[in-house]
Chain A
Amino acid sequence: MDCAVFLDVLVCAQHRNIRPDGTCPNNVDCNKFDEVIRVCNRTVFYASPLLQPSALSRAWCLFEIMMTIVYKKKLLVGLSGKDRKGLKALISNDFDRIVTMFSSIKSENAEATHEADRVMIFGWIRDNLGTNGFNKLDDVVSRGMREWMAETSAKFATESEDTDLQTSAGRLLSNLAQFKEAEPYFRRALAIEEAMHELDHPDVAITLNNLASSLKDQGKYDEAEPLLVRALAIMERVHTPDHPNVANTLDNLARLRECQGKYDEAEPFYRRALAIREAIHGPEHSELASTLNHMAILLIDQGKYDEAELLCHRALAIMEVVHGPGHPKVGFSLNMLANVFQGQGKCDEAEPLCRRALSIVEAIHGPDHPEVAMTLNNFARVLLHQGKCDEAEQAYHRALAIREAVHGQDHQDVAITLDNLARLLFHQGKDGEAEHLFRRALAITEAVCGPDHPDVASTLGPLALLLYGQDKFDEAELFYRRTLAIHETTLGPRHPDVASTLNNLARLLEVQGEYDEAEPLSHRALAIIEVIHGPDHPSVAGALNNLARFFYDQGKYDASEPFYRRALAIEEVVHGPDHPEVANTRRNLATSLYGQGKFDAAEPYFRCALAIVEKVHGPDHPEVAGALDNLARLLYGMGKYDEAEQLLIRALAILEEIHGPDHPEVAGTLNNLARFFEGQGKYDEAEPFHRRALAIREVVYGPGH
């Protein structure tokens, strides 16, 4: 290659004499590095000694690599002759040391010969890259080095029959989230191993595990499954049943089954892996705690919070003993336990755990690290469930800012936070902002992961729900159908996410009057959830509620009743009799009974629902006003006018107190009161309520509304 290089020792003036005009040629030249890199086609970064490159501790070099990547120039890594000779062996045999080297770049600790240079470069980093500019710089430099190493490994692997080189290339590409590109190297490694050994050689099993991991990362669960089953069979044949490789393969198989939604099949694999790890390491080992944490995730997915809590407590205790209270693994375990508490509705107990986890990762990594962003994401979710929407929003915004600064605008981690923040805004009714963020997240995920990846479906689903709420039915239906297709392909036809999407699509079709198409979808969703979770799981209650509402909305009150009754029975067991969810279902059942004219049967349910919301929210909450209104209508229908009137007057007082006397909600209850008196022939008493309601609506909506 015919090149002309910039080598500062030759190209820049080195004497520091000052000219009469006050300029110094050395300073002038040194200030042009940025411009030179911008016009160059490439940068050769001299990275010897490879495992601890001196240049990575120099402020100027980090600046130069950064600018190379910012200007999208090719980064070539140059090595000394000794390093070049050892590189292939290093990639093949010491992969983990290479990864450690990449992750140990700390630009904030970089030095420069002249303090003024260091101050200038650090100032530039802060001015141009923001408060977390050092992290961004570390990440960019590390990524540049990893890309070079992945390219180099791939080249070695292509020229070689060495399985370790194939595996290293695959791992490096996976490390860059280039899972599709990694797959051929794992496949080649497997082919070489199979040709070299007998088919049940342990090296074949390990390579099967690696290929399965690559496929799983692409969402190709069905392709990964037989590979892991085969790997486990080999491991069990060639090793003793309590060998670590058996435990590793069981862990991988459990994780895959979990991704497939086959929770029942995942659990025994985790239990066997746990037993092996306990036998090998004893009851207090970090690997055992990791498996406990991951099994807890499975149990959380299944709604088995109590058992998950036990595992998380045990994992946390082990991590604290093994690593000390300030270790990141303790932070992760705290996050896990918080997740369990949140699932149990014990958000007040989850919150301090999240705060402790956050303080640990902030102390270790500083305030602007991706680990902090991940913990903030988790924390925001707890805050949201506590109803602390503003704090949750702040946490998501902080997480988003960190990830955008560290990874750039188009990274998948950014898409995940955008998705979560959009869900929060959607929850708050800020549909416009939410839609914008959902679409941004979707565009990133489609670009990064491809249009059929599970993460695409993860954003399409809530976006469809939002569009449905805006009556944009055509686009919502399109998105739901895409979501369903992706879930069915990647997760199989009997996954909870398939059930969830079926339910939502059914609801959408229902509001468009497509009842015949909607009903089988709802039934299919219920059947899936019953199979996965058993007949008494809260998710089953949710699906039953949906089916009940499906019939109720069509006026088929008698058809809705048995579904509401089943849902209520489940919820009373799961949540206890005084939970808001129970109150809601009681009210729905009562409404169904009311629709059938079964007033006497409906009355205790309405009264019970009222009692619960009064207990949960206090006597002056809007939910109480709604429950009072429901009960008053029933009592009116039963001819119990006096009590009905008292309830409506109380509902009116609550709404006036909360919203003020001129709110549309108040107008609605005034109208109900007017109709109530009209129905009894008390037109004189009805009139003032009509007049007040009319006055409010004229002011709010205008006289021509």
Chain B
Amino acid sequence: MSLIIRKLAEISRQKHAGSDTVAVVAPCEEKRLPMLHRGVRLVMLRNLLSDLKELERDDINSGQFLNGIHTKDSATDWKEFSRERDEYSGKACCLHTGLSFVETMVIAGMTNDPNSGEDYFADIDTFVSYTWRGPSASLGALIVSVEDTLSTNGIGVRCDTQHKKFFMSLFHQLLFRFSGGLCGVP
């Protein structure tokens, strides 16, 4: 058990007891960990997924992870965020820094896998494009998918197929063009 979420939540409660909804003002940009150094390695994702499972919330989506398991809609979830309602939400874990989840982990000294010692973070080399809400938007499934996709660099599942034939037509959309003409007469 990695306890990333539980540990950050505890630190947040201790260091920022004044408000369950309003974070501290973040430090200026120069004092932050530069964006390009905030890349999350797979070992950290695996441990985060393990945390989510331990908290029985591996099927929540990214919006719920961030603003609280009780939230349902991206348009309103930020209004419903409160540590009082979900102390293990991503934003609750970062109330004391006003920074990102990654930066908050770094500030807490959580930069390595406690079992293997592997670094959690490195320079970003892979962008993940996804949605926070909607069908099939579970954060756990996303993490599994990212790891699978990166490890196979493609797809490799076999399964039976039903036999069906396709008939290709030689017709293509016509692109009208001039036909080659003869030389002009005098």
Which residues of A approach B to under 8 Å, CB–CB?
1-21, 23, 25, 28-29, 32-33, 35-37, 39-46, 48-49, 52, 54-55, 58, 60-61, 64-65, 68, 73, 76-89, 92-93, 95, 113, 151-152, 155-156, 159-160, 162, 164-165, 167-168, 171, 174, 202-203, 206, 209-210, 212-213, 216-217, 245, 248, 251-252, 255-256, 290, 294, 297, 301, 332, 335, 339, 374, 377-378, 381, 413, 416, 419-420, 423, 458, 461-462, 465, 496-497, 500-501, 503-504, 507, 539, 542-543, 545-546, 548-549, 552-553, 584-585, 588, 591
Contacts and interface: CB of A to CB of B under 8 A. Distances in A.
B51 to A, nearest CB: 12
A82 B136 CA distance: 9
A29 B101 CA distance: 13
B35 interface: yes
B128 A378 contact: no
Question: Closest 10 interchain pairs by CB?
Answer: A4-B39, A54-B134, A48-B136, A46-B130, A4-B122, A15-B23, A92-B161, A78-B145, A113-B74, A64-B129
Given A25-B32, A44-B128, A294-B171, A164 B155 contact: no
Contacts, number: 343
Contacts of B98: 13, 15, 17, 25
Contact of B22 (A17, A68, A497): A17
A216 B95 contact: no
Given A11-B100, A545-B185, A4 B125 contact: yes
A210 B185 CA distance: 44
Contact of B124 (A18, A36, A206): A36
Contacts of B141: 48, 80-81
A7 B128 contact: yes
Contacts of A301: 179
A300 to B, nearest CB: 10
B182 A546 contact: yes
Nearest to B160: A89
Contact of A9 (B103, B132, B135, B159): B132
B154 to A, nearest CB: 6
Nearest to A12: B100
B185 A54 contact: no
B180 A152 contact: no
8 contacts: A9-B132, A9-B139, A11-B101, A13-B94, A84-B155, A113-B74, A167-B166, A543-B182
B186 interface: yes
Interface of B: 22-26, 28-29, 32, 35-36, 38-42, 45, 48, 62, 65-66, 74-75, 78, 90-91, 94-95, 98-103, 121-139, 141-142, 144-146, 148-151, 153-183, 185-186
A378 B151 contact: no
Given A9-B66, A504-B182, 20 more contacts: A14-B91, A17-B25, A46-B130, A48-B135, A49-B135, A68-B127, A79-B149, A80-B136, A87-B155, A152-B154, A152-B155, A164-B166, A301-B179, A381-B178, A420-B178, A458-B180, A462-B178, A465-B183, A497-B180, A543-B182
A440 to B, nearest CB: 16
A534 B160 CA distance: 56
Contact of B170 (A14, A155, A203, A252): A252
Contacts of A206: 165-167
A40 B126 contact: yes
Contacts of B28: 19, 21, 23
Contacts of A58: 131
Contact of B177 (A10, A171, A416, A553): A416
B169 A43 contact: no
Contacts of B166: 95, 164, 167-168, 171, 206, 210
A41 B128 CA distance: 11
Nearest to A377: B176
A591 B180 CA distance: 28
Contacts of B25: 17-20
Contact of A248 (B136, B167, B185): B167
B176 to A, nearest CB: 5
A336 B151 CA distance: 52
A6 B124 contact: yes
A40 B182 contact: no
A407 B135 CA distance: 32
Given A41-B125, A64-B129, A251 B185 contact: no
A579 B91 CA distance: 83
Secondary structure type dominating chain B contacts: loop
Contacts of A61: 129-131
A49 B161 CA distance: 20
Contacts of A548: 185
Nearest to A336: B174
Contact of A93 (B66, B74, B161): B161
Given A6-B127, A46-B145, A93-B164, A17 B177 contact: no
Contact of A76 (B24, B38, B154, B160): B154
Contacts of B124: 4-6, 11, 36, 39-40
Nearest to A38: B127
A545 B183 CA distance: 9
Contacts of A68: 127, 129
B55 to A, nearest CB: 16
A49 B101 CA distance: 27
A546 B183 contact: yes
B8 to A, nearest CB: 12
Contacts of A32: 35
Given A9-B132, A416-B177, A15 B94 contact: yes
B40 A155 contact: no
Max chain B Cβ within 10 angstroms of own Cβ: one of A14, A49, A162 = A14
B118 to A, nearest CB: 10
B185 A588 contact: yes
Contacts of B41: 2-5
Contact of A458 (B26, B94, B177): B177
Contact of A78 (B135, B139, B149, B168): B149
A423 B161 contact: no
A60 B74 CA distance: 14
B157 A9 contact: no
Given A14-B91, A49-B135, A251 B171 contact: yes
B126 A42 contact: yes
A503 B183 contact: yes
A419 B129 contact: no
A28 B145 CA distance: 28
A681 to B, nearest CB: 32
Contacts of A15: 23, 26, 91, 94-95, 98
Given A15-B95, A19-B26, A245 B167 contact: yes
Contacts of B48: 10
B36 A36 contact: yes
Contacts of A16: 78
Nearest to A88: B159
Contacts of B144: 81
Contact of A36 (B35, B100, B173, B175): B35
A164 B91 contact: no
B126 A93 contact: no
B145 A48 contact: yes
Contacts of B186: 549, 552-553, 588, 591
Contacts of A496: 179
A202 B166 CA distance: 12
